């Protein structure tokens, strides 16, 4: 790949060049992480031998800490190596929609948007807002953003589903406990090498005035575009760009991605359960519960993983939930294949 990257004719075909560079970066990252751990393990072995010879208990304790850290990182790298799905390495789109719960649900949807933005920033991923529909006085009704980075879709695909919040409502003067719901749906950005044919005659295109709560990611113009794919009833929309032409181009790109994701779902039997929960954003369909009162608990209902560090989770500490869900999906896939 390095040799190909040095070919002066490579960039005559930009799409192929970008694909090559992305694949090279992914491989370099994996190889360098493994080699670094190998070097550190050699150092730990040397330190361990010295500690044993000298009977240095302090050094022995340090060795144990270093080994524990290496083991945790090795498990993370091993898990990342399992992100081998057809689109796992791609960027992705993430949509959040407020469900049952009115004002509470709209506020919850905004909290989820902040949570995923924080998670992406910690990963060093790029976040680009594409569309936002403001709530009625507070929060958001819906938001769509694109997240760019190595394995963005591979990690975030585990977050698709309904998320449930239980808390004392800050909007209730009687300080009663409320339950709110919001849905999160994730689908991959389609690589240029993947051809998705769309019959434009089967699509309805609407334009409207962009609106939102304001801020740097919302441009109030008359250029927002919504495309509805009539055979599947898939709807995408974009309002972030200043021109209708740019929003239309991004909306078509998003539609291609949604149709591609639908095809991936048809291929993967294990996603059947995920499809079932998309029927309603409410009771009985959640994948994860976030309880803030009367106690502190975030619990994933698919893997039974839970933590009392609710603030950490809402600040983007999601890796352990994604890892557990991914491992569970891989295990389920293996069982189906067998």
- 17 and 118 fall within a common domain: no
**Separation of alpha carbons 88 and 261, rounded Å:** 11
**Separation of alpha carbons 322 and 121, rounded Å:** 16
* Helical ranges in 244-318 per DSSP H: 244-267, 272-276, 310-314
- 225 and 111 fall within a common domain: yes
Per-residue pLDDT tens over the stretch 296-337: 999 999 999 999 999 999 999 999 999 888 887 666 555 444
- When the pLDDT of each residue in the chain is averaged and rounded to a whole number, the result is 84
**Separation of alpha carbons 160 and 184, rounded Å:** 5
Question: Among the three residues 81, 114, 142, which one is the final residue of a domain in this structure?
Answer: 81
In the chain, the N- to C-terminal Cα span, in Å, equals: 35
- 108 and 203 fall within a common domain: yes
- 40 and 68 fall within a common domain: yes
**What CATH number should be reported for the domain holding residue 328?**
3.30.70.1660
Average confidence (pLDDT) over 206-221: 61
pLDDT at position 182, please? 94
Q: Write out the residue range of the structural domain in which residue 40 sits.
A: 2-81
- 139 and 288 fall within a common domain: yes
- 192 and 333 fall within a common domain: yes
**What CATH number should be reported for the domain holding residue 15?**
1.20.58.410
- 196 and 121 fall within a common domain: yes
Question: Does 69 reside within a domain?
Answer: yes
Nearest to 161 by CA among 269, 280, 268, 79: 280
**Separation of alpha carbons 259 and 188, rounded Å:** 10
Nearest to 247 by CA among 128, 139, 95, 153: 128
Question: Among the three residues 49, 81, 113, which one is the final residue of a domain in this structure?
Answer: 81
The count of structural domains within the chain is: 2
244 pLDDT more than 60: yes
**Separation of alpha carbons 333 and 326, rounded Å:** 10
Per-residue pLDDT tens over the stretch 168-186: 888 877 778 889 999 999 9
Question: Does 86 reside within a domain?
Answer: no
pTM > 0.75: no
- 216 and 74 fall within a common domain: no
- 304 and 233 fall within a common domain: yes
Question: Among the three residues 34, 61, 81, which one is the final residue of a domain in this structure?
Answer: 81
Nearest to 225 by CA among 250, 200, 253: 250
Question: 99 in helix, strand or coil?
Answer: coil
Question: Does 87 reside within a domain?
Answer: no
Position 150 confidence tier, pLDDT thresholds 50, 70, 90: confident
193 pLDDT more than 80: no
- 223 and 315 fall within a common domain: yes
Highest mean pLDDT, choosing among 18-22, 114-118, 250-254: 114-118
Per-residue pLDDT tens over the stretch 98-111: 987 788 999 999 99
pLDDT at position 338, please? 42
Per-residue pLDDT tens over the stretch 266-302: 766 444 454 444 545 555 568 999 999 889 999 999 9
Per-residue pLDDT tens over the stretch 52-61: 888 888 999 9
- 207 and 65 fall within a common domain: no
- 64 and 157 fall within a common domain: no
pLDDT at position 280, please? 55
Higher pLDDT, 45 or 335: 45
Burial class of 249 by CB neighbour count within 10 A (0 to 12, 13 to 18, 19+):
middle
Question: Does 225 reside within a domain?
Answer: yes
């Amino acid at each position: 790949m390095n040799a190909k990257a040095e070919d002066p004719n490579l960039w005559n075909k930009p799409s192929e060049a970008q694909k090559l560079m992305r694949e090279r970066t992914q491989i370099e990252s994996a190889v360098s992480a493994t080699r670094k751990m190998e070097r550190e393990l050699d150092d730990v072995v040397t330190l361990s031998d010295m500690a044993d010879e000298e009977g240095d208990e302090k050094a022995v304790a340090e060795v144990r800490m270093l080994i524990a850290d290496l083991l945790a990182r090795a498990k993370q790298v091993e898990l990342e190596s399992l992100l081998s799905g057809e689109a796992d390495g791609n960027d992705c789109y993430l949509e959040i929609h407020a469900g049952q719960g009115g004002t509470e649900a709209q506020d919850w949807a905004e909290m989820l948007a902040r949570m995923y933005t924080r998670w992406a920033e910690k990963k060093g991923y790029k976040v680009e807002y594409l569309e936002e529909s403001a709530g009625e006085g507070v929060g958001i009704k819906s938001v769509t953003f694109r997240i760019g980075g190595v394995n963005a879709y591979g990690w975030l695909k585990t977050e698709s589903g309904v998320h449930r919040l239980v808390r004392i409502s800050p909007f209730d003067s009687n300080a009663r406990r409320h339950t709110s719901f919001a849905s999160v749906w994730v689908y991959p950005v389609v690589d240029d090498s993947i051809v998705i044919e769309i019959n434009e005659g089967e699509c309805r295109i609407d334009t409207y005035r962009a609106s939102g709560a304001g801020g740097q990611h919302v441009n109030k113009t008359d250029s927002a575009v919504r495309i509805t794919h009539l055979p599947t009833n898939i709807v995408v929309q974009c309002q972030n760009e200043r021109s209708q032409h740019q929003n239309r181009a991004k909306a078509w790109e998003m539609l291609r991605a949604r149709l591609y994701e639908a095809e991936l779902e048809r291929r993967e039997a294990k996603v059947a359960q995920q499809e079932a929960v998309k029927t309603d954003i409410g009771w009985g369909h959640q994948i994860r519960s976030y309880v803030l009162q009367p106690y502190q608990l975030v619990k994933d209902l698919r893997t039974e993983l839970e933590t009392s560090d609710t603030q950490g989770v809402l600040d983007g500490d999601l890796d352990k939930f994604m890892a557990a869900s991914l491992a569970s999906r891989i295990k389920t896939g293996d069982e189906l294949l067998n």
